[in-house]
Amino acid sequence: MLVPIRKPGKYTHAKPDPYITEEKFIELKNKLEKLKNFSRPRAAEEVKHLALDGDFSENHAYQMAKGRLRGINQHILDIEDHLKRAIIIKPQINTDKVRLGCQVTVETNGKIKTYLILGSSETDPNTGVISHNSPLGSTLLNKKVGDTVKVNLANKVVEYKIVEIK
């Protein structure tokens, strides 16, 4: 079975953002253990069982099971690499500048919004968690209370004033 090979490009081998919280680190470790101790042995057993049916070239179920096992093995390698390169974000206490792990309250167009700045793998803009790589997150980094920043969005420039840093 031939596996398609993607042309080298921007997203071919993009490594995940190494900045994660301790909670995310533990979550990834638990997921890795589940994959190693539960998912992979079951998939390997399925492949072994289907291999007994004989002719591999026309055994579609065997080919699919091998594909699932390869996917699980790749997922395990990806998580192990992410954990190996992980940089734990420590919660910031009494900081005068915006840094990773800070909760920043900003005012824009008369509205007050609060954002938590974390790594790219933990973002959820709906709950106010933004990446340090996002346009707003990267602009806010190293700014102080009272600073005003301008962020270029898709079709407009939005001005934010930093009200509080926690």
Backbone angles phi, psi at 104, to 5 degrees: -115, 130
Over residues 104-116, mean pLDDT: 94
SS3 track for 47-77:
HHHHHCCCCCCCCHHHHHHHHHHHHHHHHHH
How many degrees, rounded to 5, is the angle at CA 40 between CA 34 and CA 42? 105
**The listed CATH number (1.10.3720.10, 3.30.70.580, 1.10.287.180, 1.20.1250.20) that belongs to domain 19-88:** 1.10.287.180
Topology of domain 103-165, CATH: Chitinase A; domain 3 (3.10.50)
Domain residue spans in the chain? Answer: 19-88, 103-165
| Cβ density class 21-45: b for 16+ within 10 Å, e for less | beebbeebeeebeebeeebbeebee
Per-residue pLDDT of 60-100, as tens digits, reads: 888 899 999 999 999 999 999 999 999 999 887 778 899 99
Among the listed residues 66, 144, 153, 63, the one whose alpha carbon sits nearest the alpha carbon of residue 106: 144
* DSSP reduced 3-state for 37: helix
The pTM of this model reads 0.81
Look at residue 55 in the predicted model and tell me its pLDDT.
72
Backbone angles phi, psi at 108, to 5 degrees: -145, 130
Please provide the average confidence, as pLDDT, over all residues in the chain. Answer: 89
Query: In one letter, which amino acid is 116?
Result: L
Per-residue pLDDT of 118-150, as tens digits, reads: 999 899 989 999 999 999 999 999 999 999 999
CA distance 116 to 37: 34
